[in-house]
C-alpha cells in the first residue's frame, strides 16, 4: 500500500488550533512504528490549475494564486493567507488525485493529508481552501478511470462543501456522519446525512455508521470510495462535541474499510480534521487510521 505525502503539506499556520505540522508528524510515526517504509511514500505533484478548475471558479483560483482575496474572504477561511498555504493546498489536491489513482490500482491508498471538505467552488471556509477530494473525483471522471464515486465523511463536522458541489450529480453519492449542533450552519443536504447528538459515544456512533454504510452502499455502487477520516469525533477534541474513544475511532476505520473491502470497492483515504488537546493524540488517531487501511490491504 502506498502513502501519498509531501513536506509541503504544512499549511504554515503558525500558532493555530489547526496543527498542520500533524501531517509530517503522522508520516514520521508511520516510519517509526514500522507501518511504512521510506519506499512506501509517494511524493505528489501539485494539481494543475485546469484540474482545480474542474471544481473551483477561475476567478477564485486567480485570487488565490495572486494573493488578491478580500479581507472578508480571508476571514471566512479562518486561517492566515500565505504563499506557503497556496502551495500546500495545490499539492494536497494533487495528492488526492494520486491517491485515487493508486487506490484504483492497488485497492486502497492513503493521502497523509487532504480531506478539505468545507471548500466551495467560489470560496473557502472552515480551514479549507480547495476541495481536494472533489478535484480528485472530477479528474478521475474526466480521465474516464471512474464513472461513479462515493464520499464517506466521518469528520465531526458535516461536509458542506462536498454536499454543495455534488448536489445535483447522480454520479457521486455523498454520505456524512457528524455532530448536528456544530459547524457548519446551515448544512446543505448530502445524499445521506446522519446528524448525531452532542456527546454520542462509541456504541451509538458505530451502530449509526454501520446502518448508514449499509444504506448508502445498498443503493449506490461506486467505482471508488473516498473516506474522509477526520480525527475530531475524539472525545478530547477542541472543536468537536462527540465522545468517541481511541478504540472507537479505530473500530470506525475498520467498519468503513471493511464494508468497502467486502464489496470489492477501492478506497482512497484522506485525513481531514483533528484538533485534540494533545497533538500526539491527533497524530495517533491519524496514524491508526492509516495502519488499519494497510492491514486491510493485506500489508502490501
One DSSP character per residue, the chain reads --EE--GGG-----S-SS-TTHHHHHHHHHHHTTS--GGGEEPPPPPPHHHHTTTS-HHHHHHHHHT---HHHHHHHTS---HHHHHHHHHHHHHHHHHHHHHHHHSEEEESS---TT--SS--BTTBSS-HHHHHHHHHHHTTS-S-EEEEE-SSS--HHHHHHTTT-TTEEEEEEEESSSS-SS-PPPSEEEEEPTT--HHHHHHHHHHHHHHHHHH---SEEEEE--STTBTTBSS----B-HHHHHHHHHHHHHHHHHTT--EEEE-----BSSHHHHHHHHHHHHHHHHHHTTT-
pTM of this structure: 0.96
Q: What is the pLDDT of residues 231-252, one digit of tens each?
A: 999 999 999 999 999 999 999 9
The whole-number pLDDT of residue 263 equals: 96
The whole-number pLDDT of residue 84 equals: 95
Query: Residues of the chain whose pLDDT is less than 70?
Result: 297-300
The whole-number pLDDT of residue 60 equals: 98
Q: What is the pLDDT of residues 213-234, one digit of tens each?
A: 999 999 999 999 999 999 999 9
The whole-number pLDDT of residue 14 equals: 84
Q: What is the pLDDT of residues 104-137, one digit of tens each?
A: 999 999 999 999 999 999 999 999 999 999 999 9
The whole-number pLDDT of residue 43 equals: 98
C-alpha to C-alpha distance for 34 and 172, rounded to whole angstroms: 36
The whole-number pLDDT of residue 298 equals: 59
* Structural class in CATH, domain 3-296: alpha beta
Q: Per the residue annotation, which of 56, 117, 118, 123 is the catalytic one?
A: 118
The whole-number pLDDT of residue 128 equals: 98
The whole-number pLDDT of residue 299 equals: 46
Q: Is 131 a catalytic residue?
A: no
- Sorted by where each begins, the domain ranges of the chain are 3-296
Amino acid at each position: 500500500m502506498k502513502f501519498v505525502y509531501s513536506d509541503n503539506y504544512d499549511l504554515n499556520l503558525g500558532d493555530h488550533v489547526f496543527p498542520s505540522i500533524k501531517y509530517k508528524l503522522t508520516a514520521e510515526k508511520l516510519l517509526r512504528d514500522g507501518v511504512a517504509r521510506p519506499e512506501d511514500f509517494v511524493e505528489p505533484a501539485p494539481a494543475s490549475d485546469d484540474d482545480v478548475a474542474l471544481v473551483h471558479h477561475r476567478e477564485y483560483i486567480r485570487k488565490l494564486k495572486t494573493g488578491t482575496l478580500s479581507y472578508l474572504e480571508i476571514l471566512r477561511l479562518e486561517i492566515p493567507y500565505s504563499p506557503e498555504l497556496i502551495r500546500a493546498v495545490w499539492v494536497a489536491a494533487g495528492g488526492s488525485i494520486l491517491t485515487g489513482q493508486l487506490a484504483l490500482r492497488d485497492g486502497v491508498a492513503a493521502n497523509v493529508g487532504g480531506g478539505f471538505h468545507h471548500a466551495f467552488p467560489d470560496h473557502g471556509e472552515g480551514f479549507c481552501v480547495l476541495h481536494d477530494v472533489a478535484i480528485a473525483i472530477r479528474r478521475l471522471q474526466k480521465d474516464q478511470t471512474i464513472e461513479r464515486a462515493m464520499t464517506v465523511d466521518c469528520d465531526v463536522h458535516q461536509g458542506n462543501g462536498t454536499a454543495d458541489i455534488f448536489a445535483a450529480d447522480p454520479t457521486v453519492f455523498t454520505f456524512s456522519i457528524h455532530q448536528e449542533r456544530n459547524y457548519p450552519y446551515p448544512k446543505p443536504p448530502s445524499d445521506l446525512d446522519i446528524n448525531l447528538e452532542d456527546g454520542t459515544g462509541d456504541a451509538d456512533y458505530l451502530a449509526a455508521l454501520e446502518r448508514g454504510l449499509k444504506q448508502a452502499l445498498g443503493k449506490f455502487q461506486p467505482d471508488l470510495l473516498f473516506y474522509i477520516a477526520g480525527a475530531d469525533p475524539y472525545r478530547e477534541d477542541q472543536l468537536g462535541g462527540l465522545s468517541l474513544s481511541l478504540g472507537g475511532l479505530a473500530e470506525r476505520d475498520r467498519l468503513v474499510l471493511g464494508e468497502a473491502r467486502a464489496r470489492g470497492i477501492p478506497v482512497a483515504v484522506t485525513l481531514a480534521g483533528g484538533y485534540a488537546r494533545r497533538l500526539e493524540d491527533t497524530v495517533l488517531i491519524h496514524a491508526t487510521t492509516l495502519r488499519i487501511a494497510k492491514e486491510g490491504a493485506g500489508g502490501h
